[in-house]
Amino acid sequence: MSLEVKEKTEVRLVFLGAAGVGKTALIRRFLQDKFEPKHQYTVEELHSKEYDIGGAKVTIHIMDTSGSYSFPAMRKLCIQNGNAFALVYAIDDSDSLKAVKSLRDEILEVKEDKFTPIVVVGNKTDKHGERTVSRQDVFSTVKLDWNNSFLETSAKENNNVLEVFKLLLQQANLPSRLSPALRRHRETFPKDCNNPPPMNKTNSCLIT
């Protein structure tokens, strides 16, 4: 008798990285298809989006975390509750890549699972003329040494943003039918750019 593996109908994606690398910008681009050039300081924000796929409710929680190391207890809780992780650095900030390496070590330690879904994201490719981080070097480390996924993105130019979320959801074992739903996700938002829809938020990652 074969056993049927049940796919998750709820998943939590956690975005981690140094301050100013564009974690909030990537999430905002995905949820609202908007880009705010001014850096916005974030402590912890939780955004939730529900999809109806084949009659099944699929809820995606996206945790936007602080780039500050002043909240280690909060960060640990977010890691404990996360299902898949985006580790974001900026291609024009080599120090932010060091933060990614440290955060990955922390995730593996907290989760006690070397196969935890992780996608390393090199953001701000629109600043290619200011690049200080070699794409090839990061690719080699992430793919060959860490066995994790890697993408470069630009929240400003909306390059590879959707692909980051698709990778995270695939690795978190969400239904494959979610992919076309993701392409339609922006249709649920008003077209009035001057009155963007509110995002569901919370100041704590303790929500289950």
CA distance 142 to 128: 20
| Amino acid (one-letter) located at 104 | R
pLDDT at 44: 77
pLDDT at 66: 80
* Percentage of the chain exceeding pLDDT 90: 60
φ/ψ (deg, to 5) at 63: -95, 120
pTM above 0.85, yes or no: no
Residue 199: inside a domain: no
Residue 185: inside a domain: no
* Rounded average pLDDT over 139-153: 97
Residue 193: inside a domain: no
> Which structure tokens are listed for 101?
């390496």
Residue 189 has pLDDT above 50, yes or no: no
Residue 183: inside a domain: no
Tell me, what CATH number does 45's domain have? 3.40.50.300
Residue 111: inside a domain: yes
Q: Residue 67's pLDDT band (boundaries 50, 70, 90)?
A: confident
Residue 43: inside a domain: yes
* Rounded average pLDDT over 184-188: 47
Q: Residue 49's pLDDT band (boundaries 50, 70, 90)?
A: confident
CA distance 154 to 126: 6
pLDDT at 187: 43
Q: Residue 207's pLDDT band (boundaries 50, 70, 90)?
A: very low
Across the chain, which distance is largest between two alpha carbons, in Å?
59
Domain count, the chain: 1
- Dihedral of CA 21/23/25/29: which sign? positive
Domain span at residue 82 reads 10-172
Residue 178: inside a domain: no
Residue 3: inside a domain: no
